[in-house]
Amino acid sequence: MTHFDPLDMHNYRIEKLPKRDKSKIEKMLAVAGPFLAAAVFILFSYVFQFPFLSHIDPTALVSDAAKTAFEKIGAEAFSRNNHIMLGIFTASIILWMTQAIPNYLTSLMLIISLVLTGVLSEKTAYAQLGHTVMWLNIMSFVLASMLVATGLAKRFALWLIVKFGKNASTIFLSFLVINIVLSVFISATTAKAAILLPIFMVISAIYGATGGDNKNNFGRSIVLQNLLHINIGASGFVTGSGANLLAAALIGGAIGGKIYFSDWLMAMFPIMLGLMLLGYILALKVFFPLKPEERLPQIEGGMERLKEEYHKMGKLTGLEVRAAVIFILILTLWTTDKLHGISPTAVAFLGAIVALLPRIGIVKWNDVDIPWHLMLFSAGAYALGAGLDATDLPLLAIKSFFDALGIGNEAHFWVLYLFLTAVMVFSALLFQSKTMRAMIFIPIAIGVANRFGFEVVSLALPVAFMIEHVYVLPFNSKPAALLYETGHYTMSDTFKFGFTIMFAAWVLNIVAGETWFRFLGITPHGVFGLF
């Protein structure tokens, strides 16, 4: 039998982690999903006639695409398209939630459904693969591959741990800093998890936790804090995830302008940092307090192995220096985008081109790891958004909902603010995809703002700020599923820690809405009006 070395980082590569079997409920949902989706599609599209979609007042439409479609095809065909859009939308949500088929396959099916039913033209539906956000994602994966291929990300993480990880507390804080830095440049949270997992797994082993039957609070804390930081770190930057970029694009389209990198950073970086520090305090002081023996390394010479791993990398190479220079220049251009007007996508394009240039570049195309299944899934989500825009379905549904409640054209801003942000953050308990939640709830927030005459940014942007809270349960995100396989914590551990942070994030968002966001001009009565 081969001896398992708990301090060998190669033992903790993603492909070597055990795969979690689906529960009975998950298996039942996967079997029932296709039948339920097909039934819902047929009933909503062709059987049921919803009054709010059957008799549409064209003056109530907000989307330019919807107004154009109504004028072009007429009231009857526009109503039919709305019913079909509702059927495609709900069927897609069912397939995505039940995971009955791969997410990318659901996306391909919904794209062709939008085309064959006439809701979208082929040109509009297929063009979503060329969406600005799609290109930014592709270029971000090129840049992330540069970090991995040169070893710069690993060197930075090991250096910070070796330099400042003198005790248990500073080790946790070091990972907090590492996650913030990686979040600036890597928009894929799964990629961040893949980079950091071998390092914190080795440190867990050094402090006596190897997972499975050999758990302790150090292991629970370091894995769950990293899961929190991987996701929360993405919330501080508009480039932090594809879902953030999608939300910014949807809001920008609704206001006829842009949501700048610098504006998002100004609004969310303090909140991101505050939530990370709160997670650190709650983990070590409330949920997973360390016993005296858990604060001490349990494997003799364990930290020396990390130092050896770091020293094996040798001196900083020319490729790493060039990679660092490229990233510093990219960050500089991103944070000053309001001054020069160059979009984050164009900046990433330039960085990726330099990185791929022959002789003076850093990586070859074959070294670039682009998860095309995620790209196809995103293209489907964007096509769904185009369909919603072409039919104005969110606005029509919202209008019908508030009319049914007897609420006219007046509603208190803060009631809507509390409701919409709560729906966004707590929906993460049920949904697997951040992109899907952005696709559903950002248009709803935009529709509510238009319905009651509030600035779109005042409601839609705070809702967008709640996208990244996907760390409570294993199925909430890919990093959550990945880290659950380490065996360092139970479902109860992640729920009590994660839900507390999630609730605190919502409360902090409310407080910020009355203070910091108001000061920035996001919510009403702002001073500077940055947006």
Per the model's pLDDT, the better-predicted residue between 513 and 430 turns out to be: 513
Does residue 299 have a pLDDT over 50?
Answer: yes
Three-state SS for 159-212 is HHHHHHCCCHHHHHHHHHHHHHHHHHHCCCHHHHHHHHHHHHHHHHHHCCCCEC
Confidence at residue 81, expressed as pLDDT on a 0 to 100 scale:
92
Could you give the percent of the chain with pLDDT greater than 90?
Answer: 23
Per-residue pLDDT tens over the stretch 242-272: 788 888 888 887 887 778 888 899 999 999 9
Tokens of 319: 């490729």
Question: pLDDT-based confidence at 17, cuts 50/70/90?
Answer: low
| Conformational region of residue 239, where left means phi above 0, alpha means psi within -120 to 50, and beta covers everything else | alpha
Three-state SS for 306-373 is HHHHHHHCCCCCHHHHHHHHHHHHHHHHHHCHHHHCCCHHHHHHHHHHHHHCCCCCCCCHHHCCCCHH
Question: pLDDT-based confidence at 149, cuts 50/70/90?
Answer: confident
Buried/exposed 402-441: b ≥16 CB within 10 Å, e otherwise: beeeeeeeebebeebbeebbbbbbbebbebbbbbbbbbbb
Question: pLDDT-based confidence at 23, cuts 50/70/90?
Answer: low
Question: pLDDT-based confidence at 414, cuts 50/70/90?
Answer: confident
Lowest mean pLDDT segment, chosen from 57-71, 81-95, 410-424: 57-71
| Conformational region of residue 314, where left means phi above 0, alpha means psi within -120 to 50, and beta covers everything else | left
Tokens of 197: 């997992």
- Which one, of 77, 302, 81, 66, lies nearest residue 205 by Cα? 302
Per-residue pLDDT tens over the stretch 271-287: 999 999 999 999 999 99
The length of the chain is 531
Does residue 13 have a pLDDT over 70?
Answer: no
Confidence at residue 275, expressed as pLDDT on a 0 to 100 scale:
95
CB 56 within 8 A of CB 82: yes
Confidence at residue 22, expressed as pLDDT on a 0 to 100 scale:
64
Distance CA 207, CA 32 (A): 44
Beta-carbon count within 10 A of 343 CB = 16
Which residues are bridge partners to 214 per DSSP? 211
CB 504 within 8 A of CB 497: no
Tell me the domain boundaries of the chain.
1-128, 133-367
Per the model's pLDDT, the better-predicted residue between 9 and 65 turns out to be: 65
Our CA angle for 476, 228, 302, nearest 5°, is 120
Distance CA 44, CA 84 (A): 7
**Identity of the residue numbered 423:** V
CA 151 vs. chain centroid, Å, equals: 25
Confidence at residue 47, expressed as pLDDT on a 0 to 100 scale:
93
Diameter of the chain measured on Cα atoms: 77
Question: pLDDT-based confidence at 45, cuts 50/70/90?
Answer: very high
* End-to-end Cα spacing for the chain: 62
Does residue 530 have a pLDDT over 50?
Answer: no
Distance CA 509, CA 462 (A): 7
Confidence at residue 298, expressed as pLDDT on a 0 to 100 scale:
66
DSSP label at residue 459: H
| 8 SS3 class | coil
Could you give the percent of the chain with pLDDT greater than 70?
Answer: 91
Tokens of 455: 């600035």
Distance CA 355, CA 353 (A): 5
Distance CA 309, CA 186 (A): 23
Beta-carbon count within 10 A of 2 CB = 4
Question: pLDDT-based confidence at 464, cuts 50/70/90?
Answer: very high
Question: pLDDT-based confidence at 1, cuts 50/70/90?
Answer: very low
Distance CA 95, CA 87 (A): 12
Please name the residue that has the structure tokens 């605190």: 504
Does residue 212 have a pLDDT over 70?
Answer: no
Tokens of 184: 């600036």
Distance CA 192, CA 190 (A): 5
Beta-carbon count within 10 A of 499 CB = 16
Within 13 Å, how many C-alpha atoms sit on residue 338's CB side?
11
Confidence at residue 481, expressed as pLDDT on a 0 to 100 scale:
78
Question: pLDDT-based confidence at 199, cuts 50/70/90?
Answer: confident
Rounding to the nearest 10 degrees, give the CA dihedral for residues 134, 138, 143, 148: 130
